[in-house]
Amino acid sequence: MFHDIEAGLATWDRNHHVRARSEAQTAPFLRQVAPAAAAGLGSLLRWDDDAIELEYPVGAVSADGLEILATRLVALAAAIAAARDAIAPPPELAVDRAAWRALASWLDGRLTMGNLALDGALDGVPVQIGREWSTGGEPAALRVRVGGPSHTAAVVRALSLELAAPAAQAATTPGASAIAAVIAGWRDDIVELRIADGVASAAWRLPADRIVDATRVRELVAGLRAVLAALDPETGPYR
């Protein structure tokens, strides 16, 4: 399923076997970061989604030695930050980068273009956006979450509701009458509405052409905001 991705450094490539979910996204990142990782930082023990682990041999610990090591680690961190921000969107999806950056600006959030993950806030309320996959490992939907336990009233936190097809089921589902009018106009590609612990979330099923329209995502964020407002119009976070 995976094959070795090379950094373009002969010694480094001989000593390391790199695998990743997307070679197209990983190869440019690796070529930018590997030189800094190989620059006097010892042996690379582990490099995955969460961390780089290095083993740096020393005969004795000294202030000068630690200062040199810290300088090299700062350079590595800077290389990672620069390369991360340059990662292209998922190659299997069609993404308008400018539109997604505008979405991130609207939410005053941090966009990770490489996997279309966005953490931000709307009117001070947390918003999270991320991909979901099919059982076969294909990108299937974007999940949007709005709200949080510390940003919604007790009456909303006490609610628990799930609608597989929100627009079709709201009018006939017990407990959903307060939001039926809000979601009546949602398209049928908005699925799996969940309300729990003060968070409203739903998934937008990606279209067959794999165009990830930032406008649709923005509409879903606003729709979930409206759901929370309908559940607590007097004391909720969106009054």
What percent of the chain has a predicted confidence (pLDDT) above 90?
A: 43
pLDDT level of residue 165 (50, 70, 90 thresholds) = very high
Q: How many other CB atoms sit within 10 Å of the CB of residue 24?
A: 13
pTM of the model as a whole:
0.75
Q: Which strands, in side-by-side order, build the sheet including 110-112?
A: 110-112, 117-122, 125-133, 139-147, 199-205, 190-196, 160-163
Q: Which two tokens stand for residue 6?
A: 């090379």
Core vs surface per residue 136-146: b (16+ CB within 10 A) or e: eeebebbbbbb
Which CATH architecture fits 94-231? 2-Layer Sandwich (3.30)
Percent of the chain with pLDDT over 70: 96
Q: How many residues are listed for the chain in this entry?
A: 239
pLDDT computed for residue 51 by the predictor: 86
The full set of domain ranges for the chain reads: 10-85, 94-231
Dump pLDDT digits (tens) for 19-76. Answer: 877 777 788 888 888 888 888 888 888 888 788 888 888 888 888 888 988 999 999 9
User: Is it the case that residue 239 has pLDDT exceeding 60?
Assistant: no
Over the stretch 86-137, which tens digit does the pLDDT of each residue have? Answer: 788 888 899 999 999 999 999 999 998 888 999 999 988 999 999 998 877 7
